[in-house]
Structure 1
Amino acid sequence: MLMQSQSAGENLLLIQGADVLRQLLNTFPLAAMKEFVMFWLATGTNLSLAEPFTEKCTENMTRLFTTFSQEDNWHLAYAQRLTENSRKPLQFHGMSEISEFSAQFLDQNFRWESLGIFLSAVSRATIDISFFPPLFKTENDQFALRKLATRLSDLALDIALSLDCLNDLQIVLQYENFIMHTHVDGDQSYHSWSRLGDVISSMFAIGYHEDVEKTKPPIPTFLAELRKTAWATMYSADKNIALFLGRPPRMSKRFCHFQLPSPPKGSERIGNPRHIQGESPTSELDTPVSYRAGIRWATICASLKEDIMELLRDKQREDFNSKASYIQKKAETEWQNLPSNFRLKSSLKECSRYAFERDFLAGLRLDYLHTLFLLRLLFHDTLARPDPAILDVSDQMLALVVEVILLRDQLVNSGTGLIWKIAHFGLPAAGIILLSMLKQTSTVNEIRSTWSKTLLNLGIFVAQIQVGSIVRPSDPNYALISKATQTIERFLNSMQRDGIQSSTQPSSQMEENGDWAAFFSQDLCDFETDFWENLADHPSLLALDPTLPSL
């Protein structure tokens, strides 16, 4: 009698979900998966948007799967129950507490959305934790768990969306599912790109682009903060992914109410295992580090990046210089307005903070430097001849990314992972630095006297990537990072053998008139694989080492 009320399409999704659920629980012990997620949470990390619900959804897993465990079709019975619960609207009023709201999707009210949040946490934990004997000891078993958890999380989301009962919890799951796919499939994957579009569409449909503080009837404070946080994190993700992929952004602040989550209070601090619940900050130095604080800063930077993207498309406007100057001052002011303990003032190695906090500080600093980096791009018609201003920013970005790589075992993901920091911040910085160095091989009088530290950072970057512990051939961003590493290594090998010297070929003329320089005038924000393939064919690099084939 199961599933008689569903359509054929819903039945198919339900059966698929039930089958993968059975496969997952027959392959990996549920109790061990729960312990795995709780261990991951204890490191100080979490799902950034689903953070208020991750632990509760995890704790409820072992309570849920008990009733039908002896029945042949237990997996179908569970799937049916989850579906029935997911059809129910989530009720709340202006004075609702988060515990009252959460009770509607926990215990016997567990929904596909709740299961999806737990499975997203399982999948994400397999990326951060490489050895957990109760579940996996080998890389193959680790990958199998990640694959099954991701597959069932996808189905949980698909089933919830098929019911056409859009709610806040679904949007939270949609966002975390998108982030999960950026880790599993890569930031360049169409799966990731399309899922970001889907969650943005859902957000618009439910009205997150409007002023949530003025929602009628009024919504509880915790839900208003959740919606503001969701809007902010999707807005910043949209800008950064669009820049990374060289595609148009989907969201514009012109058509949205720009809103930031409120600064977290002392009792909401995360990432500090010694924090005492209920304590309040006594000074600016005690401003709590948290996902919400990181999202606030990322959204401020994303707003500036949107202004830069618009200016980049209209460089002939009369107020170009004044607008660029305004963005510069705004970025610097926003950075200075951050709480003092949010600004990295020393090297990361000298920063005596907890793992989550150190990663947090590095992430905020990198986002700020990346904003300045994009701003300096505005003043270039081609990347073939970078100026000193963008080179200085690139030096700082690369140095910090190298520090993050070297200290990666002492950091905990505070919102962006190591691979994202390398691909989104490190590679553009390294690309600009190489272009500047290659430019100077043709003009010996312009040789920069401080290359030694930069060359050392490039060497460390290449060596750490080549070790294979950061990115492996099976990883989604391997092609981009390996191509960039090959090009950097090729240059360093040439420098080590020949030194920076004047080229014997008229490479300057080739840069100005050939196809090589023309490529770097096409898209100033494109630092993907094509950029590195073209950089490998730089005439000066070929002249320095003509025995090496083109990459």
Structure 2
Amino acid sequence: MPTTRRNGQLWSCEPCRKSKLRCDHTTPVCGRCVRRNKEHLCVYHPAPLTTNASPRGKRRKQKISLSVGSSNETDDWSQKKASVSTPGFLGQTSYFDVFADGENGLQIGGPSSSPDSVSVNLERIQLGARALALLKHLPTYREILTARYKIWKGWTLGWPITNIILTSTEEMWASIQDEEPDEAQQTLLMSRRLFEKHNEPIEIHSNTTLAEFASAFAGRWETIGLLFTSIGLSVEYLPNGHFMNMDEYHDKIYEPEKIPLVSTAIGDLCLQFCDSSGIVNDMQCWLLLHHISLLTIVYGDGDYRPWRKLGDLATTTFALGLHQESENCPFFLREMRKRSMVASYAIDKALATFLGRPPLISGRYCDLGMPLDLSCEQMVAEPAEREAAIARLDSAGWNQDGSLERGACGRVTLIGAIIREKVLELSLCPQTQDLRERVEELSQDIHKQYQELPAFLRWDPNAQTACSNWDDRLLVDLHLEYLYNDFLLYRILMKRTNIQPERIISLSLEIMNALLSMVDRTFEYPTMRANIAWLVCHAGLPSAGVLSADLLRQSRLRTPEAPTRSRSEVIQKLSIFASHLGALVRSEEGNYQIAQQGQRAIRCVLDQVLSAPNALAFPPAADPIGFDIDDSALISADLLDGIDIDERGPFLEWLDGTMDAQEQPWLTWMSLS
């Protein structure tokens, strides 16, 4: 062949020519193909645009079949859609239970299910291919996930399962690249393969190994969705400086604030693909858990989308039978199902609390088994190693090494969620009879549960290592949740009886002290700032509202009451908290405006209190006393005199213990991955 083309330019090899990439023209193999591991495809064709008629016609037909969509799905709505759905869990009142009961002699096994042969819709193939185009950044995804799991290992999937998901996707993508040299066709081919696997049921039995399970769920849309939602959640753990060293940082998709948006869109697309085929399996449940947490970050807990997906999650958990002890499945999957149920139950209570709605997953219908205090690595280990780890647990099932990177967080999450459901029952029940006694009883139960936790799960604010590592940060989170449960109880009592108990003031101070202690230390450790804005708004603002209201009330009294706390301490705490509101909630976050309004409102209250005639610093009293307060007085025009009218709305919401946090994630604290 001639050394140059007619225009005098050197020939390009076929892979570079088809990909429209600059070739270095090295023979026999160009440098670009060596770097891309395509040496076997690197050839210099003497007439690249000349092919035989028959293969050309065949190839053109194949390309058209992959790129031209079908309109049958939208044009012919009278046809029943294909489905691979199975009946799922069937309880004692189900239509089939009598036939499955061996005692009456009618046992005939489970109900048969003949999945339809699902034809591949070409429009969906194209839509899926658009999402799969982002797989070209797989090395970056591995870097993000690896960095995230070095900070916190999680307690549901953990690194072992996440690594399997990542590795299986990398292997499938590499196989597609080897099979199809044309980059434009690679994503279409992989999309088709993913849809084809919808027809393959996942068979699980008690002897299923982790490798067999991994092979069964590899190459499915659920896996792709889990990969991207995990990446979106991982960004919360990484400081912005982490992304500066990435090659793709200047790609607009890889701006840290854009990654959760893209991950949410792909996760939602994968869930739609699963829903259209009636798929219900463990991976879909994991995907829903991650997707809901991501939705709260992107759209906020008050948005309808997380609540709607929570309904899907509740349906999926019951259809899978996660509300009862799993049978006929391997140990690692049985334990993972327990953790999935705990996470679903806890997310349900968190969103129900935020929205003031009845929870969708009621604990009275669930066998909420406590997960073992094992790490995710121990959970999927060989039987001998696993049994040795179980033998090292104490009589109550807790690890004796003081590690939070195992199942301890899941166990504490379950304890807290059960208490939160009881708090919700009090809040949503219209009856006020014996309310004070019920509140006191539940408050004592909260204290008892907290004191019965192992010592390594109780935060010590005086410890020298407080908040200096991620474990201590988690302890503060758990401590704040414990205090906030108590806070909610006394808010219920205050709202129903119009009597402000002294306990709510002391709780507000405890919450403020713990929060400020953590914030002060996390300024030194950027990786510890994950979800810090959530804590400031979730627990900090209601507490600040109660303390500010109490200061205002006392400043308007003609005869000062006997003080029950250091007035100067409260003022100092509120001043520091107001300054943190401006520093911790970034301008790109959804709650930035509310944080700014809160900062201005608190400062206006402090200015008004400090300029009042009786603005004296009283010493703390020895014995706390209770006092009655009329809620209407707290929100009167006189009480808020001096505060801009534009700031009264948000501030009154804090006085009431609520806020319109439309874009603040409540759920990411559980660190589900």
TM-score normalised by the shorter chain: which range applies?
A: 0.7 to 0.9
User: C-alpha separation between the residues in 2 aligned to 1:537 and 1:319?
Assistant: 25
1:21 corresponding residue in structure 2: 132
Per-residue Cα deviation, 1:217-245 (whole angstroms, up to 9, x for no partner): x2222222222211111111111221122
Q: What's the offset of the Cα at 1:146?
A: 3.5
User: C-alpha separation between the residues in 2 aligned to 1:222 and 1:281?
Assistant: 18
2:534 corresponding residue in structure 1: 420
User: C-alpha separation between the residues in 1 aligned to 2:325 and 2:338?
Assistant: 7
Q: What's the offset of the Cα at 1:362?
A: 1.0
Which residue of 584, 587, 590 maps to 1:476?
590
Does 1:252 find its partner at 2:362? yes
1:363 corresponding residue in structure 2: 477
Residues 385 and 317 (structure 1), Cα distance of their counterparts in 2 relative to 1, 3 Å cut:
closer
Does 1:8 find its partner at 2:79? no
Per-residue Cα deviation, 1:381-420 (whole angstroms, up to 9, x for no partner): 3697632211111111122122232333537679x83233
Does 1:98 find its partner at 2:163? no
Q: Answer yes or no: is the 8 Å Cα contact 2:470–2:528 preserved in 1.
A: yes
User: C-alpha separation between the residues in 2 aligned to 1:383 and 1:413?
Assistant: 40
Moved more, 365-374 or 482-491: 482-491
Which consecutive residues of structure 2, in runs of 5 or more, have no partner in the other structure? Answer: 1-64, 75-120, 380-387, 617-626, 638-646, 657-673
Q: Answer yes or no: is the 8 Å Cα contact 2:373–2:407 preserved in 1.
A: yes
Q: Answer yes or no: is the 8 Å Cα contact 2:156–2:376 preserved in 1.
A: no
Q: Answer yes or no: is the 8 Å Cα contact 2:373–2:406 preserved in 1.
A: no
Q: Tell me which amino acid in the other structure corresponds to 1:8.
A: E
Q: Answer yes or no: is the 8 Å Cα contact 2:468–2:521 preserved in 1.
A: no
2:424 corresponding residue in structure 1: 309
Residues 151 and 316 (structure 1), Cα distance of their counterparts in 2 relative to 1, 3 Å cut:
closer
1:177 corresponding residue in structure 2: 291
Q: What's the offset of the Cα at 1:353?
A: 7.5
Residues 11 and 260 (structure 1), Cα distance of their counterparts in 2 relative to 1, 3 Å cut:
farther
Which residue of 236, 253, 256 maps to 1:127?
236
User: C-alpha separation between the residues in 2 aligned to 1:66 and 1:327?
Assistant: 56
Does 1:534 find its partner at 2:644? no
User: C-alpha separation between the residues in 2 aligned to 1:75 and 1:499?
Assistant: 73
User: C-alpha separation between the residues in 2 aligned to 1:533 and 1:289?
Assistant: 37
Residues 516 and 170 (structure 1), Cα distance of their counterparts in 2 relative to 1, 3 Å cut:
same
Q: Tell me which amino acid in the other structure corresponds to 1:311.
A: L
Q: Tell me which amino acid in the other structure corresponds to 1:74.
A: Q
Moved more, 135-144 or 299-308: 135-144
Q: Tell me which amino acid in the other structure corresponds to 2:569.
A: K
What secondary structure does 2:307 align onto?
helix
Which residue of 60, 85, 98 maps to 2:197?
85
Q: Tell me which amino acid in the other structure corresponds to 1:242.
A: A
- Bigger share in helix: 1
Per-residue Cα deviation, 1:77-126 (whole angstroms, up to 9, x for no partner): 111112222442222211323333123223xxx22111112111221223
Q: Answer yes or no: is the 8 Å Cα contact 2:155–2:376 preserved in 1.
A: no
1:455 corresponding residue in structure 2: 571
Q: Answer yes or no: is the 8 Å Cα contact 1:208–1:228 preserved in 2.
A: yes
2:313 corresponding residue in structure 1: 199
Question: How do residues 135-146 of structure 1 correspond to structure 2 at under 5 angstroms?
Answer: 135-136=248-249, 141-146=255-260
Moved more, 8-17 or 365-374: 8-17
Q: Tell me which amino acid in the other structure corresponds to 2:73.
A: A
Per-residue Cα deviation, 1:271-329 (whole angstroms, up to 9, x for no partner): xxxxxxx8786876514313632222122122122222222344746554443343223
Residues 537 and 374 (structure 1), Cα distance of their counterparts in 2 relative to 1, 3 Å cut:
closer
Q: What's the offset of the Cα at 1:536?
A: 8.7
Which residue of 401, 404, 425 maps to 1:289?
404
Q: Answer yes or no: is the 8 Å Cα contact 2:162–2:227 preserved in 1.
A: yes
Residues 45 and 411 (structure 1), Cα distance of their counterparts in 2 relative to 1, 3 Å cut:
farther
Does 1:112 find its partner at 2:224? no
User: C-alpha separation between the residues in 2 aligned to 1:407 and 1:307?
Assistant: 34
Q: What's the offset of the Cα at 1:495?
A: 3.6
Residues 242 and 463 (structure 1), Cα distance of their counterparts in 2 relative to 1, 3 Å cut:
same
Question: How do residues 28-43 of structure 1 correspond to structure 2 at under 5 angstroms?
Answer: 29-43=137-151
2:325 corresponding residue in structure 1: 212
What secondary structure does 2:495 align onto?
coil
Residues 92 and 266 (structure 1), Cα distance of their counterparts in 2 relative to 1, 3 Å cut:
closer
2:373 corresponding residue in structure 1: 263
Q: What's the offset of the Cα at 1:33?
A: 2.3
1:238 corresponding residue in structure 2: 348
Q: What's the offset of the Cα at 1:531?
A: 6.4
Residues 383 and 447 (structure 1), Cα distance of their counterparts in 2 relative to 1, 3 Å cut:
farther
Q: Answer yes or no: is the 8 Å Cα contact 1:112–1:156 preserved in 2.
A: yes
User: C-alpha separation between the residues in 2 aligned to 1:429 and 1:124?
Assistant: 28
Q: What's the offset of the Cα at 1:335?
A: 1.0
Per-residue Cα deviation, 1:52-91 (whole angstroms, up to 9, x for no partner): 4212222333322223432232111111112222442222
Residues 150 and 464 (structure 1), Cα distance of their counterparts in 2 relative to 1, 3 Å cut:
same
Q: What's the offset of the Cα at 1:427?
A: 1.8
Q: Tell me which amino acid in the other structure corresponds to 2:220.
A: R
Q: Answer yes or no: is the 8 Å Cα contact 1:83–1:112 preserved in 2.
A: yes
Give 1 or 2 for the bigger CA radius of gyration. 2
User: C-alpha separation between the residues in 1 aligned to 2:150 and 2:455?
Assistant: 27
Q: Answer yes or no: is the 8 Å Cα contact 1:242–1:248 preserved in 2.
A: yes
1:57 corresponding residue in structure 2: 165
User: C-alpha separation between the residues in 2 aligned to 1:516 and 1:318?
Assistant: 27
Q: Answer yes or no: is the 8 Å Cα contact 1:238–1:251 preserved in 2.
A: yes
Residues 173 and 314 (structure 1), Cα distance of their counterparts in 2 relative to 1, 3 Å cut:
closer
Q: Tell me which amino acid in the other structure corresponds to 1:337.
A: E
User: C-alpha separation between the residues in 1 aligned to 2:213 and 2:491?
Assistant: 47
User: C-alpha separation between the residues in 2 aligned to 1:513 and 1:457?
Assistant: 26
Q: What's the offset of the Cα at 1:361?
A: 0.8
Per-residue Cα deviation, 1:163-182 (whole angstroms, up to 9, x for no partner): 21210111001110111111
What secondary structure does 2:258 align onto?
helix
Moved more, 9-18 or 431-440: 9-18
User: C-alpha separation between the residues in 2 aligned to 1:530 and 1:238?
Assistant: 31
User: C-alpha separation between the residues in 2 aligned to 1:296 and 1:195?
Assistant: 24
Q: Answer yes or no: is the 8 Å Cα contact 1:187–1:241 preserved in 2.
A: yes
Q: Answer yes or no: is the 8 Å Cα contact 2:512–2:540 preserved in 1.
A: yes
Residues 500 and 148 (structure 1), Cα distance of their counterparts in 2 relative to 1, 3 Å cut:
farther
User: C-alpha separation between the residues in 1 aligned to 2:649 and 2:315?
Assistant: 31
2:414 corresponding residue in structure 1: 299
User: C-alpha separation between the residues in 2 aligned to 1:536 and 1:420?
Assistant: 15
2:174 corresponding residue in structure 1: 66
Question: How do residues 401-440 of structure 1 correspond to structure 2 at under 5 angstroms?
Answer: 401-408=515-522, 410=525, 417-440=531-554
Residues 258 and 141 (structure 1), Cα distance of their counterparts in 2 relative to 1, 3 Å cut:
closer
Per-residue Cα deviation, 1:409-462 (whole angstroms, up to 9, x for no partner): 537679x83233222222222222122222211232344541333333322222
User: C-alpha separation between the residues in 1 aligned to 2:406 and 2:304?
Assistant: 26
Q: Answer yes or no: is the 8 Å Cα contact 2:515–2:540 preserved in 1.
A: yes
Question: What is the TM-score with the length of structure 1 in the denominator?
Answer: 0.80
Per-residue Cα deviation, 1:137-159 (whole angstroms, up to 9, x for no partner): 69983333333233222212221
User: C-alpha separation between the residues in 1 aligned to 2:146 and 2:330?
Assistant: 28
1:525 corresponding residue in structure 2: none
User: C-alpha separation between the residues in 1 aligned to 2:251 and 2:516?
Assistant: 28
Which consecutive residues of structure 1, in runs of 5 or more, have no partner in the other structure? Answer: 270-277, 503-507, 519-528, 539-551
Q: Answer yes or no: is the 8 Å Cα contact 2:499–2:629 preserved in 1.
A: no
Aligned length: 503
Residues 45 and 487 (structure 1), Cα distance of their counterparts in 2 relative to 1, 3 Å cut:
farther
Percent identity between the aligned chains? 22
Q: Answer yes or no: is the 8 Å Cα contact 1:285–1:341 preserved in 2.
A: no
Q: Answer yes or no: is the 8 Å Cα contact 2:555–2:609 preserved in 1.
A: no
Q: What's the offset of the Cα at 1:343?
A: 0.7
